[in-house]
């Protein structure tokens, strides 16, 4: 194309470079809604019972059951890492979803107990699962981590940042517990749970993940903490119990309201498995009589970000909840942080 002669008023779009600041951007095409395609859970093989704990610290099966509702918990082996457990749970969820590794664009690992801070867990997990070059990051919102990760995964699918997302909660809390401290060593455990998040189908575009309701309060940061690299988990049990049993049911009910789901129609309530008494106290305040209340803590212990997907995996395996059921999730813990959303069972 010949250049336009000097002084000509004829302008060519191709010949004229865009002026600084005038280049418009396009946005990706997202999905009208997101849904969970499948769950997967992994628990380590080693079982630690209350009786075994009572042989090493001053406690008893009766005391532990009445205070926290745990009968036994699972602990990772000495060479079993958070990454190993994340791969096991993530692989199960991916297989159950019917997708292939190439369909996953983003991997989020919610964990507050990574083996090391650098590198992150998610990229290594993705590589081991054969997921090539996805976006990958770890997310630390402690025991609220899975609900935070599910919320951001859902947003990524809806915004078009990812077609499908693998969300994993994985923890090895046993390495951050003082095994001579009877107030904490009876509670915490190891495990991983995962979900595959993708777009709603064209045939049925009803969303399968409701809006996340989340928050935090750094003013209560010292209520659950690990003081430094050589310290162990410390928590102020009464303060946490008071907060959890008074501040969280409004969060859960708001999640129902935002999703347009009547609590009375919930098939299940799956809160973070912190302590069975907290779980039951919150459940009583929801006025959701039909909802099966998850009690996975009895045999899993408190596995932080893994507890919700682990409980969901088991409930689906046992046929306690069915495809299409509305289930309320509520994560809460250190930070302090909390998040809730309603999901439909895949």
What is the contact surface with another protein in residues (CB under 8 A)? 66-67, 236-239, 241-242, 245-246, 277, 281
Q: Between 95 and 281, whose beta carbon lies closer to another protein?
A: 281
Q: Between 64 and 107, whose beta carbon lies closer to another protein?
A: 64
Q: Between 103 and 236, whose beta carbon lies closer to another protein?
A: 236
Q: How far is CA 255 from the centre of its chain?
A: 16
Catalytic annotation present for 143: yes
Closest CA to 240 of 321, 336, 147: 336
Catalytic annotation present for 272: yes
**Rounded distance, CA 142 to CA 147, Å?**
10
In whole angstroms, how close is the CB of 298 to another protein at the nearest point?
A: 17
CB 343 within 8 A of CB 196: no
Give whole-number Cα distances, 216 to 37, 142, 207, 256, in Å: 29, 11, 26, 19
Q: Between 258 and 277, whose beta carbon lies closer to another protein?
A: 277
List phi, psi (to 5°) of 139: -130, 125
Specify the pairing of strand 213-216 against strand 337-344.
antiparallel
Catalytic: which of 112, 143, 185, 256? 143
**Rounded distance, CA 95 to CA 99, Å?**
7
In whole angstroms, how close is the CB of 246 to another protein at the nearest point?
A: 6
Catalytic annotation present for 112: no
**Rounded distance, CA 171 to CA 192, Å?**
6
Query: If you count them, how many residues does the chain have?
Result: 346
The catalytic site residues sit at 143, 272, 302
């Amino acid at each position: 194309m010949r250049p336009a002669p000097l002084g000509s008023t004829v302008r060519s779009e191709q010949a004229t470079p865009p002026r600084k600041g005038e280049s418009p951007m396009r946005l990706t095409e997202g999905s009208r809604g997101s849904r969970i395609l499948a769950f997967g859970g992994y628990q380590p093989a080693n079982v630690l019972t209350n009786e075994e704990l009572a042989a090493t610290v001053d406690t008893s099966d009766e005391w532990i059951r009445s205070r926290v509702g745990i009968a036994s918990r699972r602990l990772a082996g000495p060479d079993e890492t958070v990454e190993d457990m994340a791969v096991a749970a993530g692989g199960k969820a991916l297989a159950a979803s019917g997708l292939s590794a190439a369909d996953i664009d983003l991997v989020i690992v919610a964990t507050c107990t990574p083996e090391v801070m650098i590198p992150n867990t998610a990229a290594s997990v993705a590589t081991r699962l054969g997921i090539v070059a996805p976006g990958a990051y770890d997310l630390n919102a402690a025991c609220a981590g899975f609900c935070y990760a599910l919320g951001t995964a859902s947003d990524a699918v809806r915004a078009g940042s990812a077609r499908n997302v693998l969300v994993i909660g994985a923890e090895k809390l046993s390495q951050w517990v003082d095994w001579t401290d009877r107030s904490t060593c009876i509670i915490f455990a190891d495990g991983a749970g995962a979900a595959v998040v993708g777009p709603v189908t064209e045939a049925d575009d009803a969303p399968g993940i409701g809006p996340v309701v989340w928050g935090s309060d750094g003013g209560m940061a010292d209520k659950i903490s690990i003081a430094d690299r050589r310290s162990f988990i410390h928590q102020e049990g009464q303060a946490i119990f008071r907060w959890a049993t008074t501040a969280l049911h409004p969060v859960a009910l708001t999640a129902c309201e935002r999703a347009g789901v009547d609590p009375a129609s919930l098939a299940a309530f799956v809160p973070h498995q912190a302590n069975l008494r907290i779980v039951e106290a919150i459940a009583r305040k929801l006025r959701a009589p039909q909802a099966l209340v998850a009690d996975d803590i009895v045999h899993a212990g408190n596995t932080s970000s893994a507890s919700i997907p682990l409980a969901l995996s088991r409930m689906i395996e046992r046929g306690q909840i069915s495809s299409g059921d509305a289930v309320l999730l509520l994560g809460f813990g250190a930070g302090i942080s909390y998040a809730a959303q309603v999901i439909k069972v895949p």
